[in-house]
């Protein structure tokens, strides 16, 4: 593959292809959330949510900012916001 931009977008789409990660991103589309909030609304264990957040953070989809003892996550990549808007609209 010669086009680096397409390779990066393919990596994003692959990451969003997992149901838990897609659910997390959809929740972050509406508001910033911490791990506990994500676990509660998705009914997924903390270790599972943390693993998915770490993967998405490592490829630049989301970012986390410490607020006291908690880390608040939000979508970092505007391409991801555009994708989620399309998902919500259809």
pLDDT digits over 28-46, tens only? 999 999 999 999 999 999 9
The pLDDT of residue 41? 94
The pLDDT of residue 1? 53
State the total domains in the chain.
Answer: 1
C-alpha dist (Å) from residue 10 to 24, 42, 79, 81 = 19, 25, 12, 15
Return the CATH number at 52.
1.10.10.10
Indicate if the pLDDT at residue 2 is higher than 60: yes
Domain span at residue 52?
4-89
50 token code pair: 């943390």
Q: What are phi and psi of 53, to 5 degrees?
A: -60, -40
Cβ 66 vs Cβ 50: under 8 Å: no
Instruction: Name the residue among 15, 17, 19, 18 with its Cα closest to residue 62.
Output: 15
- What is the C-alpha separation between 21 and 84, in angstroms, rounded? 12
pLDDT, one tens digit per residue, over 13-32 is: 999 999 999 999 999 999 99
């Amino acid at each position: 593959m010669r086009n680096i931009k397409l390779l990066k977008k393919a990596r994003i789409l692959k990451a969003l292809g997992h149901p838990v990660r897609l659910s997390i991103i959809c929740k972050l589309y509406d508001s910033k959330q911490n791990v506990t909030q994500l676990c509660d609304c998705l009914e997924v264990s903390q270790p599972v949510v943390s693993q998915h957040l770490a993967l998405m953070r490592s490829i630049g989809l989301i970012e986390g900012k410490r607020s006291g003892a908690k880390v608040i996550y939000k979508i970092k990549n505007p391409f991801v916001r555009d994708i989620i808007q399309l998902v919500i609209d259809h």
